[in-house]
Amino acid sequence: MSSTLLNAVKLASETWKNGFNSQDAKQCAGQYEANATMNARPFGEFVGRDAIEAFWQNLINEGFNSVEYIEPNFSIVDDNTVLLTSSWKMNKAHGVIHKELWVLQQDGSAKLADDDFEVLG
């Protein structure tokens, strides 16, 4: 089970990054559960796909792109959940992911239920 779960999370994470790097906020938001919570420090908390998509669209509109995760760590929490932590960088910012909580869905995909990241500069 763990390799299936990890593969689903890694695919979903790559799909999110590819969406951001191709400037597609809808693809980014599509990797979140419908009622997901995203804490984007210092910007605030965003709840639900529409609010999350609007946040990413605004960032894209401001010229942010080329996100990379630096040494991501995937920790299995239980049979359906993986915690991803990582440093990250993009063209105009860098920071840390404190918590990406990915949950296996009934269709076998993984979606973000809880996202907590911080911009450090």
Q: Which amino acid is at 48?
A: G
One digit per residue, the tens of pLDDT, for the chain of length 121 reads 589 999 999 999 999 999 999 999 999 999 999 999 999 999 999 999 999 999 999 999 999 999 999 999 999 999 999 999 999 999 999 999 999 999 999 999 999 999 999 999 9
Q: Give the distance from CA 3 to its chain's centroid.
A: 20
As given in the structure block, the two tokens for residue 51 are: 């609010």
Quote the pLDDT of residue 100.
98
Quote the pLDDT of residue 2.
84
- The answer, yes or no, to whether the previous bond of 72 is cis (omega within 30 of 0) is no
What long-range pairs does 2-8 form, CB within 8 A, spacing at least 24? 2/76, 4/108, 5/76, 5/79, 5/80, 5/82, 5/104, 5/110, 6/74, 6/76, 6/82, 8/102, 8/104, 8/108, 8/109, 8/110
Find, among 27, 96, 36, the residue nearest to 60 by Cα. 27
Find, among 18, 26, 35, 5, the residue nearest to 103 by Cα. 5
Give the pTM: 0.96
For residues 50 and 74, give the distance between their C-alpha atoms in angstroms, rounded to a whole number: 27
